[in-house]
Each structure stands twice: as structure tokens, then as C-alpha cells.
Amino acid sequence: MGERKTKEGVVVSDAMQKTRVVRIERVYRHPQYQRVIRMSKKLKAHDEANASKVGDRVLIEETRPLSKEKRWRIREILGSPAR
């Protein structure tokens, strides 16, 4: 069968229980003007153990709808900022 989609992003909010807001950044070159453009999108991801904190780099994977806006779950924490 098909592989689940995965994305890498940074946790920008950990205010909710078992939910994290993850910012996914996409960098691409404009087809006509050749200027580098940074676009970002914020997705809500499920974090069962409340393990990730703001600033952590995480890998999220697609899952079934868990709530009205949650369709992703945190697969692993890739790194945390130096504190």
C-alpha cells in the first residue's frame, strides 16, 4: 500500500494538551521572477506524551482525522534548540 506522508517542521505552540502547532516551511524559486520565496503553513499535530516543546524540530506523519483540525501526529522529535 501507499506510504504515509511525512513533513518536517518546528513546534511553535505547546499550549494545548496532547496537541502541538507545527510550522512547515517551504522554500522555492518563483517560476517567472526567479526570486526565492519562503512560504509557511501551520498544522496541528497530535503528541500523545506531551513530549515536544516550543522550538523542537519534529517529524510529523499523516493520520486519520483525530479532531476537527488535527490530521497529523508527531512521529519523532529530531532535535531541540540549545538551552
> Domain of 44: which CATH number?
2.40.50.140
In a domain, 44, yes or no: yes
| Residue 33, in any domain of the structure | yes
CB 81 within 8 A of CB 56: yes
Average pLDDT over residues 31-60: 96
Q: How many domains does the chain have?
A: 1
pLDDT at 83: 59
Range of the domain at 65: 6-79
The pTM for the full model equals 0.88
Listed residue (43, 37, 49, 39) closest to 69, CA to CA: 43
User: Over 90: is that where the pLDDT of 80 sits?
Assistant: no
pLDDT at 52: 93
- Rounded Cα distance between 14 and 60, Å, is 15
Confidence (pLDDT) at 69: 95
Residue 75, pLDDT > 90, answer yes
Cβ distance 22 to 70 under 8 Å? no
Flag whether 1 is in a domain.
no
Q: What is the CA radius of gyration of the chain?
A: 14
